[in-house]
Amino acid sequence: MDVCRIALVGATGAVGGVFLKILEERHFPASDIRLCASKRSVGKKLKVMGREIVVEEVTPRLLGEVDIVFIAAGASVSLEVAPLAVKQGAFVVDKSSAFRMDPDVPLVVPEVNGDDIADHKGIVSAPNCSTTPLVMVLKPLRELSPVRRVVVDTYQSVSGSGAEAVEELRVQSGRLMGEWDKTPDDPPLVNGDTRGVRHDAYPHPIAFNTLPHIEEFWDNGYTNEEMKMLNETRKILHDDRIAISATCVRVPVMVSHSEAVHIEFERPVSPDEVRETLSSFPGVCVVDEPKSNVYPMPVDAAGKDEVFVGRIRRDMSHPNGIAMWLVSDNLRKGAATNALQIAEEALRRGLVPRLKDSAVG
Ligand SMILES: NC(=O)c1ccc[n+]([C@@H]2O[C@H](COP(=O)([O-])OP(=O)(O)OC[C@H]3O[C@@H](n4cnc5c(N)ncnc54)[C@H](OP(=O)(O)O)[C@@H]3O)[C@@H](O)[C@H]2O)c1
């Protein structure tokens, strides 16, 4: 793989912090690393691959001095920075929703549709952190039998909303636990008195609670997050016929999203076929011995790159149905790892514009 110069916009955020760790873990071939964030973080120093790097402001000049720009700073920043970076000759891997449904921008999970990177016009988008694990299982399973319909309910961690939400869950939990500590003879049979608990990240407190609400509601009653799961899955799998109904729920978990998935195939498919197929797909790990209490859980998936799948069983409600449970670290495969894999794939295939001539195979 070519050695390249990179910039990360959003280096001080939840995804940014994990991205910097993974850069090191994967020995990503970066000769020069530039870190950017909002004005309030300019001048901060972050440690990356043994070097101390000062956070800078994003400028056209900086964007012109790197080969690949990763953006993990929110859609409005991406809308501004990505076109500028492309104009400056850089290749952009964008983590936000800004360009995901743009027909000129490939939306990629490398194990699923890595070939789509070849169609890029400067920007490649990475999907939403709930869509990525779903397509990682749908891709190999569609080869067993076409998938007609998916019903998916998500249990999404607070880190999916960024660093502010992580802090909010920590503070709210600490406050409620502290109140119970003061009255040890009075065990908490309620979820804590959330009146007066400060909540900025969500419309309600998240500690000891679940919110059936991620992003804004559409007129059809679904939320934007739920519609992303439908639209992004169809785009990645190149299949506009798959019917998908999602309910996305925020839960008081720090890291890793879980999903209860019900898949209806064109023909009956057995749980054993599903286990075997998923076990041989790269990036998927089957963890399925429920009678021994072994199944995927966020506490185990956090910090790992695989999508973990278990509770694989026949869906009793449909002759061609399979039900399963999957868990994936939203900051890694759901965000940073996938973005780095896209860049690695583009480098391997000689698709990074500034490095085209020196690509290997
Ligand atoms: N969290 C996830 O699981 C996840 C998964 C998939 C995709 N994503 C996407 O990844 C992006 C980042 O999410 P996050 O969870 O890491 O958010 P976050 O924790 O809120 O971090 C946001 C980052 O963007 C920076 N930023 C804000 N305004 C900026 C500006 N004008 N110019 C440059 N940098 C700016 C922030 O810098 P300061 O620290 O200086 O404010 C911070 O580094 C979002 O688009 C999100 O949708 C997140």
Judge whether 250 and 303 are in contact, CB under 8 Å: no
The architecture (CATH level 2) of 4-127+335-358 comes to: 3-Layer(aba) Sandwich (3.40)
Kindly list the domain boundaries of the chain, sorted by start residue: 4-127+335-358, 131-162+201-330
To test the ligand 1 pocket, which listed residue (8, 9, 12, 62) has its Cβ within 8 A of the most ligand atoms?
A: 12
CATH superfamily to which 131-162+201-330 belongs: Dihydrodipicolinate Reductase; domain 2 (3.30.360.10)
Ligand 1 atom 24: residue of nearest CA: 73
d(CA 39, ligand 1 centre) in Å: 13
**Helix, coil or strand: residue 123:** strand
d(CA 12, ligand 1 centre) in Å: 8
Ligand 1 atom at minimal distance to the Cα of residue 157: 3
Residues with CB under 6 A from ligand 1: 9-16, 36-38, 40-41, 58, 72-75, 77, 95-96, 129, 159-160, 162-164, 330-331, 334-335
Q: What is the predicted pLDDT for the residue at 198?
A: 82
To test the ligand 1 pocket, which listed residue (9, 18, 38) has its Cβ within 8 A of the most ligand atoms?
A: 38
Give alpha helix (H) positions in 149-270.
Answer: 163-182, 224-237
Residue 253 CA to residue 251 CA, distance in Å, equals 6
b/e per residue 263-291 (b: at least 16 CB within 10 A) = bbbeeebeeeebbebbeebebbbbbbeee
Residue 193 CA to residue 61 CA, distance in Å, equals 51
Task: Give, for all 361 residues of the chain, the pLDDT tens digit.
Answer: 779 999 999 999 999 999 999 999 999 999 999 999 999 999 999 999 889 999 999 999 999 999 999 999 999 999 999 999 999 999 999 999 999 999 999 999 999 999 999 999 999 999 999 999 999 999 999 999 999 999 999 999 999 999 999 999 999 998 888 777 766 666 556 676 676 788 899 999 999 999 999 999 999 999 999 999 999 999 999 999 999 999 999 999 999 999 999 999 999 999 999 999 999 999 999 999 999 999 999 999 999 999 999 999 999 999 999 999 999 999 999 999 999 999 999 999 999 999 975 544 3
Catalytic residues: 129, 257
Provide the mean pLDDT of the chain: 95
Q: What is the predicted pLDDT for the residue at 184?
A: 60
